[in-house]
């Protein structure tokens, strides 16, 4: 039986730290981490692919069949129509979202979805898309500014 100050190491136990801000971890914690794997922020081409992926997930497949809550409400969600949203517009968004994590890009596209559902016609056009991207980029920069002042 191990002493009270000893821990039995189990090959079945794994601690995984996934901080958004690794600098916030106390040195006593980081000193005990054996392996470190860094996942860098997505580059422009990766952000473009993520934007397209979440566009499909949150907007293109919406309205097909029942919504995920359909079994509760027996209502079919309204179909989203996408107009004049070219790859060039999405590439511009990928450029503007430099410094965004994959999670932030997913949240951005969820905001686009919410904005589309807020319109009576459920239409996503390039103007609405750009407006939401610009808003989220400004929000991102404001968050960085506030964090640096803390």
Q: Write out the DSSP string of 18-62.
A: --S-GGGS-HHHHTT-------PPP-HHHHHHHHHHHHIIIIIST
The answer to whether residue 1 scores a pLDDT higher than 50 is no
Distance CA 70, CA 126 (A): 29
Report whether 101 contacts 61 (CB < 8 A).
Answer: no
Distance CA 12, CA 8 (A): 11
- In this predicted structure, what is the pLDDT of residue 141? 95
Q: How many CB atoms lie within 10 A of CB 142?
A: 10
Instruction: Output the CA–CA distances (angstroms, integers) from residue 13 to 8, 10, 38, 105, 111, in the order listed.
Output: 10, 6, 21, 32, 37
- In this predicted structure, what is the pLDDT of residue 28? 82
The answer to whether residue 112 scores a pLDDT higher than 90 is yes
> Average pLDDT of the chain?
84
Q: Which domains does the chain have, with CATH numbers?
A: 44-149 (1.10.8)
- In this predicted structure, what is the pLDDT of residue 24? 75
**By three-state DSSP, how is residue 83 classified?**
coil
Q: What is the pTM of this model?
A: 0.74
Binning pLDDT at 50, 70 and 90, where does residue 79 land? confident
Q: What backbone torsions phi and psi does residue 81 show, to the nearest 5 degrees?
A: -110, 130
Instruction: Output the CA–CA distances (angstroms, integers) from residue 102 to 129, 133, 137, in the order listed.
Output: 18, 14, 14
Binning pLDDT at 50, 70 and 90, where does residue 105 land? very high
Percent of the chain residues topping a pLDDT of 90: 53
Binning pLDDT at 50, 70 and 90, where does residue 134 land? very high
């Amino acid at each position: 039986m191990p002493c009270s100050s000893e821990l039995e190491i189990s090959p079945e136990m794994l601690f995984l730290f996934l901080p958004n801000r690794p600098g916030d971890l106390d040195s006593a914690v980081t000193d005990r981490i054996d392996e470190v794997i860094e996942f860098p922020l997505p580059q422009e081409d990766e952000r473009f692919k993520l934007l397209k992926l979440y566009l499909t997930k949150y907007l293109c497949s919406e309205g097909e069949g029942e919504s995920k809550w359909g079994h509760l409400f027996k209502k079919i969600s309204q179909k989203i129509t996408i107009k004049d949203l070219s790859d060039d517009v999405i590439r511009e968004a990928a450029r503007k979202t430099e410094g965004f994590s994959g999670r932030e890009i997913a949240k951005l596209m969820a905001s686009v979805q919410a904005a589309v559902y807020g319109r009576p016609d459920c239409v996503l056009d390039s103007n609405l898309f750009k407006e939401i991207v610009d808003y989220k980029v400004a929000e991102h920069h404001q968050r960085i500014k506030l964090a640096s002042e803390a």
